[in-house]
Amino acid sequence: VSGAAVTGDAEEQAAEAALRPKRLAEFVGQPKVRDQLSLVLDAARLRGAAPDHVLLSGPPGLGKTTLSMIIAAELAVPIRITSGPAIQHAGDLAAILSSLAEGEVLFLDEIHRMSRPAEEMLYMAMEDFRVDVIVGKGPGATAIPLDLPPFTLVGATTRSGLLPAPLRDRFGFTAHLEFYGPEDLERVVNRSARLLGVRIDPDGAREIAGRSRGTPRIANRLLRRVRDYAEVKADGGVTLEVARAALDVYEVDERGLDRLDRAVLHALLKLFGGGPVGLSTLAVAVGEEAETVEEVAEPFLVREGLLARTPRGRIATSAAWAHFGLSAP
């Protein structure tokens, strides 16, 4: 998954941090995940012990990082944030693990992209709170066992199926985040508007929510763009007309498809006659990694009924042809 496309630049990250819910009660939607997590946290508090390790899966922007921070806040413990690709060697992981405070939350984003040796070290750390640090090289190398304080690993992945079973099995609690429905996205937009001090009509909020691709991160991003427009071209308030005009300027289509979604559908329709076409061929056609197409674009396109995954490859549905104003052959 290309990080930049998904998480944006530094300015975006600062804006996101300001809008992040801090407690479970502020976290919009995902009622099943919230209820289950709340039980896990209550039980840990009662026992006065670190809770089981937590695995969060789901497409980018649905709240995995936010939930990991909420877990730490609810337990009143510190949090360390890192990611699979940032851990190149087992030694990198050993350094992080051995410096954790008692009860600390370790958030490991894109955990499926960790190197193999690091992954194996993580198994032992998760299960026995112990690592073997290898000192030296070749026949003289020795393993020095090191005890770790109890900690809670929160792993995030775009799809839990990407994880090797031995890793998946070491999580005591697994939650899958789903795309958000229109009402929940409207609540996200209204909450963020309140925090940003933006006046917004119910119709304006609904319009932004409807084009947010089921994703809170996108809802917040669109709200900020609409706010720009409202301040420059109107009196600062967000009405239906202002939201529509602004989103047209930024070329967000009425279904919320983004550049990658449109590129994938466009290639599927124009280059491959609607399919079936294999994932890797489709990815090459849009100049992206297969993993990005599969984990970032496809889940939404499938949910919207625009693309189907079949044993023979990806196919466009009749709704996809209609969306581009074309008739299916």
317 labeled binding residue = no
Q: Which residues contact 112 (CB under 8 A, 6 or more apart)?
A: 84, 157, 158, 159, 162, 163
Whichever of 21 and 275 has its CB closer to ligand ADP, that residue is 21
Write down the least CB distance from residue 247 to ligand ADP, Å: 18
292 labeled binding residue = no
Whichever of 214 and 274 has its CB closer to ligand ADP, that residue is 214
The contact set with ligand ADP (CB under 6 A) reads 16, 19-21, 27-30, 60-66, 188, 216-217, 220
Would residue 281 show up in a list of annotated catalytic residues for this protein? no
Q: Which residues contact 310 (CB under 8 A, 6 or more apart)?
A: 276
229 labeled binding residue = no
221 labeled binding residue = no
Would residue 258 show up in a list of annotated catalytic residues for this protein? no
Write down the least CB distance from residue 34 to ligand ADP, Å: 9
Whichever of 16 and 207 has its CB closer to ligand ADP, that residue is 16
Active-site entry in 22, 47, 152, 158: 158
Write down the least CB distance from residue 178 to ligand ADP, Å: 11
129 labeled binding residue = yes
Whichever of 260 and 320 has its CB closer to ligand ADP, that residue is 260
Q: Which residue is nearest to ligand ADP (CB)?
A: 63
Would residue 32 show up in a list of annotated catalytic residues for this protein? no
**Beta carbons of 46 and 146 less than 8 angstroms apart:** no
Write down the least CB distance from residue 181 to ligand ADP, Å: 12
Closest CA to 268 of 259, 253, 278: 278
Active-site entry in 217, 221, 227, 262: 217
Write down the least CB distance from residue 328 to ligand ADP, Å: 34
Would residue 7 show up in a list of annotated catalytic residues for this protein? no
274 labeled binding residue = no
Whichever of 44 and 108 has its CB closer to ligand ADP, that residue is 108
State the residue for tokens 């990005």: 292
- Binding residue numbers: 19-20, 61, 64-66, 127-129, 170, 180, 217, 309, 314
Catalytic residues: 64-65, 109, 158, 217
- List binding-site positions for DNA: 309, 314
Annotated binding site for ATP: 19-20, 61, 64-66, 127-129, 170, 180, 217
